[in-house]
Amino acid sequence: MKRVFNFSAGPSALPLPVLERAAAEMTCANGTGQSVMEMSHRSKDFKPIIEKTEALLRELMGIPKNYQVLFLQGGASLQFSMIPLNLAAGESGAPRKKAAYIDTGVWAKKAAEEGAKYADVRVRASSKDRAYTYIPQAPAPEPDDAYYHITLNNTIVGTKWAALPETSAVPLAADVSSCILSEELDVSRFGILYAGAQKNLGPAGVTVVIIREDLIGHAPSWTPALLRYDIHASEGSLYNTPPCYGIYITGLVLEWLKDSGGVSAMARRNREKADLFYACLEKSRLFRSPVEKPFRSLMNIPFICTLEDAEKRAELEARFVKEAAAAGLVNLAGHRLVGGMRASIYNAMPIEGVQALIQFIEAFER
């Protein structure tokens, strides 16, 4: 069967060379006579896999030496709890520290709600007033904030921060699940970065955490062991069995990215893809982008029908998604909370996929 162009927001498309290499190495990885799925995480066979994956990530992102790289589980959603637990929660009976959050969409809102269980969360700005179609002005942090949390790219609504907020000495924490490695990022501007791998980095099951060393070791004594950054850091992400196969695939993705020219080259391709698609929507008479121009994402592009009648609009959008799938353009339905359509054009999406979608839109419109 011919491969489709997969526009899923996650789990998302992986580079074809990565899938082909993984298939070739399925039963015998690195000449070991076994699959990575079968390896002990503490064996001499797996050790070079996790070490190489970390080294590649450090190289591609320019991660400073005073940052730890952790390969964890639980997705970005578990980080909604781990960050306040490790940075703002107090010992039993002690007051919780303040934490600043900026509400820019569903996942940012969920992060704040979960964080409020362990920290004194203050939502300092929100774009909910205009259906999260823009990024609000970010106020300066207060000196006693434990951290300042943002969602750098908002997968569901298709917005991104055009410029990072200035947080001075307050650590900036960011969910980068849907934009990691899509553009160059100054890691030193952040105290902690985290990303579920299943959007732009690898398969579901791996969560990457990049954390400055001085932020490790502050969890209260009652924190469960698996939720403590210091334990994972001291054990090299091997305190318990990590998602071994997912880490291996992530390593292959990083090799592919390096061979493709690195992050700067990928950023140019991503901009070219996004510019093509936004230009298509600008000239369309039937579809439009709901996102304000300065804040449009490179990775996730929602679009909606311009018909005023809600029933007819819903019918046409459902027809569009169905006929696109029949044409080999799959997973274009928008998130269930916002409807419409959404094209996620992560690093692994070739420009040919975007061109095929544009041609389909033009034909559908005719």
Looking at the annotation, which residues are catalytic? Answer: 107, 175, 199
Q: Give whole-number Cα distances, 134 to 160, 161, 213, 295, in Å.
A: 8, 9, 33, 6
Those residues whose C-beta lies under 8 Å from the C-beta of residue 194, and which sit 6 or more positions away, are 76, 79, 83, 173, 174, 175, 176, 177, 207, 208, 209, 210
Phi-psi region of 70 (alpha: psi -120 to 50; beta: other; left: phi over 0): beta
Helices (H), the chain: 16-24, 47-61, 75-87, 106-115, 229-234, 244-259, 262-283, 310-326, 351-365
Return the closest-CA partner of residue 200 out of 242, 144, 257.
257
The answer to whether 203 and 14 have CB atoms below 8 angstroms apart is: yes
Distance of CA 111 to the CA centre of its chain: 14
The answer to whether 329 and 7 have CB atoms below 8 angstroms apart is: yes
Cβ-based burial of 37 (10 A; exposed 0-12, middle 13-18, buried ≥19):
exposed
Angle at 153 between CA 206 and CA 9, to 5 degrees: 60
Q: What is the dihedral of CA 51, 53, 55, 60, to 10 degrees?
A: 180
Token match 């919780």: residue?
96
How many CB atoms lie under 10 A from the CB of residue 70?
20
**Which residues are 209's β-sheet partners?**
70, 194
Token digits for 90? Answer: 């107090």
Coil, strand or helix at 208 = strand
- Per-residue b or e along 236-267, where b marks 16 or more CB atoms closer than 10 Å to that residue's CB: bbbbeebbbbbbbbbbbbbbbbeeeeebeebb
**DSSP single-letter state for residue 7:** -
